[in-house]
Structure 1
Amino acid sequence: MTPPAVRLDADRDAGVAVVTLDRPERLNAIDLGMVDELGRVWQELRFDDGVRAVVLTGGGGRAFCSGIDRDVVVPQPGSPYMQDDPLLRVGPKACGLWKPVVAAVEGMACGGAFYLLGECEFLVAGAGASFFDPHTSYGMVSAYESLLMAQLMPYGEVARMALMGVRERIGAERAHAVGLVSQVTEDGGALEAALGCARTIAGFPAEAVQGTVRALWAAREGALARGFALAPHLIALGNLAPQEQDGLFRGRRTGGYRTR
């Protein structure tokens, strides 16, 4: 039996739940099972009035999430109007959860991880955390990821991250300087710091907190809706064929990377 890919722990006395991506042997890469499990967890939390704030983190310490698992095969219709992206279903907002979600990031967060981080209220990161977007290096358009990150970071920073691919990573301090991360802790301290924030938020009246979350998201969703409508066409036009992507991925030679 396959072990669960997502772990849910709740402290109802504090009103806080911790959702842990739990595939550390795969750097918490997202497979289709994890997509389904995350959907069920967000739905469960919608109806759990004992939970008023959520922390999202990755297990194992080496990575928050390394994006979609390269072994996942998603059959695609032969039309740019009907792109099927399973990661569009992984985030709390996509599942209608309007309780605040704080991300605790240790290690790397890249690519498909941004579908999750882009739907969190704010991020706390350990000093060794790093963020990067490998899409262009492997012949793929960074569409949904860049759209979500453009709501959290200045345009030039998002553009540099997306275009530099695997050759450059944004370190925790730089992420804090540009506003992607709200707090940097010592390595291993992100979860406890995020829990402290979540406990504070959970102590306030839930209706006021959730209304504020919904209002904040409203400021972003208009731009996202327009971008998401265009994204399938850009992906269909710009992506290399899957076998060409796979060749670039398996034969990758990055020449090392630099961290800003």
Structure 2
Amino acid sequence: MTVRTEITDGVALVTLDRPERHNAIDLETAAALAATWRAIRSDDGVRAVVLTGAGGSAFCTGIDRSVSVPQPSSPYAIDDPLLTVGPKANDLWKPVIAAVNGMACGGAFYLLGECEFLISAESATFFDPHTTYGMVSAYEAIGMAQRMPFGEVARMSLMGTAERLSAARAYETGLVSEVVPDGEAAGAALRAAAVIAGYPTAAVQGTVRAVWSAREAVRAQALAGAPQLIALGNAAPELQEQLFAARRTGDTARRGHRVR
């Protein structure tokens, strides 16, 4: 089981459970996430949700690089299994709070971009490796552009693996709403979710829709152009793999970057 769900007093705790892979998302996990959101959508007993990652090293590191996703030949289309992993992509309008521990990078922003707010552990870091490996950051950057100042999104998206955003800086930019000691992010998120779950359901879900409607038109327009940017701007898969291999040889996931 790659996604675990525990429900207590109207709050669902959803945990990405692949700590040995830094909670990277393979096709099984992508399908499990989509199924989880649909199940919660239909469960009237769940009124708020917390999303987190198992283990202390990572919240989520995006798509599992071992996954092979065949692509259409047209430059105007792209098949992306991460497009269906988020709550909003599955028409879930119950509030979702992310509890971020360790690394949150790349495809993790598909999830974080569809949560209502984020609570972060002190040692958590946020970064977007796409440009380092010859890939366009489109969906990730668009999602973060709804949460962070333009310059911060641009810097994170363009600096790739050379730089990571600390929890403190993420709080300063508004990406996260609260920073707590390591090991306490899930607990803090569960406490907030319990408060929200205690309020009238229709009022809460209506408020979620109202908040999202304030930015949905701009977001939808930006997302419409993302597949073409990725298809036309991504390096060939062979070059991407060479860049990944070079990075693995000359560096590690914990070296060769600056945290700010």
Counterpart check, 1:29 vs 2:28:
no
Identify the match of residue 134 of structure 1 among 117, 129, 135.
129
Structure-2 separation of matches of 1:33 and 1:138: 24
Letter in 2 for 1:235: I
Q: Deviations over 1:100-149 (max 9, x none)?
A: 00000010000000000000000000000000000000000000000000
Q: How big is the shift at 1:210?
A: 0.3
Q: What residue number does 2:3 align with?
A: 6
Q: Which runs of 5+ in 1 are unaligned?
A: none
2:225 is paired with a residue whose SS is: helix
Letter in 1 for 2:6: D
1:70 is paired with a residue whose SS is: coil
Q: How big is the shift at 1:25?
A: 0.2
Q: What residue number does 1:55 align with?
A: 50
Q: Deviations over 1:66-115 (max 9, x none)?
A: 11000011111011222111101000000000000000001000000000
Identify the match of residue 67 of structure 1 among 62, 67, 81.
62
Q: Which runs of 5+ in 2 are unaligned?
A: none
Q: What residue number does 1:180 align with?
A: 175
Q: Compute the RMSD of aligned alpha carbons.
A: 0.9
Q: What residue number does 1:162 align with?
A: 157
Written as runs of structure 1 = structure 2, the 5 A alignment for 1:1-260 is 4-11=1-8, 14-252=9-247, 253=250, 256-260=256-260
Q: How big is the shift at 1:220?
A: 2.0
Structure 1 window deviating more from structure 2 (224-233 vs 184-193): it is: 224-233
Q: How big is the shift at 1:44?
A: 0.5
1:125 is paired with a residue whose SS is: strand
Letter in 1 for 2:54: G
Letter in 1 for 2:75: P
Count of residue pairs brought into register by the alignment: 255
1:94 is paired with a residue whose SS is: helix
Given the two structures, how large is their TM-score scaled by the length of structure 2? Answer: 0.97
Q: Runs (4+) of structure 1 moved beyond 3 Å?
A: none
Q: Deviations over 1:144-195 (max 9, x none)?
A: 0000000000000000000000000000000000000000000111000000
Q: How big is the shift at 1:216?
A: 1.0
Identity across matched positions, percent = 65
Structure 1 window deviating more from structure 2 (132-141 vs 250-259): it is: 250-259
